């Protein structure tokens, strides 16, 4: 994932221009956020906790149907302000 995030031409080839721009935008927003509450307030991010086999994984929307999945490295998802570190685990198409 890091390789993709740092190589914009590779992102564009793999996901197309629109999706690549949205991925970079969302990654920049995640990096700039103080905590998860900042992300929850972003328009169209739709931050939500997943269930089932992806229990404890959080998701934010990109351009439909693509989503960015990540785990909290500290704090609690019940208290979004306590989460200040995340690990991106997957960039996926619709997981339903």
Chain center to CA of 78? 18
Q: Rounded to whole angstroms, how far apart are CA atoms 53 and 31?
A: 26
pLDDT in tens, 32-83: 999 999 999 998 899 999 999 999 999 999 988 889 999 999 999 889 999 9
Long-range contact set of residues 53-62: C-beta below 8 Å, sequence gap at least 24: 54/95, 57/89, 58/86, 59/95, 60/26, 60/30, 62/19, 62/22, 62/23, 62/26, 62/91
Position 87 scores a pLDDT of 94
pLDDT in tens, 69-79: 999 999 998 89
pTM of the shown model: 0.85
Chain center to CA of 62? 8
């Amino acid at each position: 994932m890091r390789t993709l995030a740092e190589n914009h031409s590779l992102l564009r080839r793999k996901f197309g221009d629109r999706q690549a721009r949205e991925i970079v935008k969302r990654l920049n927003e995640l990096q700039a956020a103080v905590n998860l509450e900042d992300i929850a307030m972003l328009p169209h991010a739709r931050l939500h906790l997943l269930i089932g086999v992806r229990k404890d994984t959080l998701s934010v929307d990109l351009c439909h149907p693509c989503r960015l999945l990540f785990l909290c490295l500290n704090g609690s998802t019940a208290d979004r302000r306590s989460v200040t570190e995340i690990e991106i685990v997957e960039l996926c198409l619709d997981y339903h």
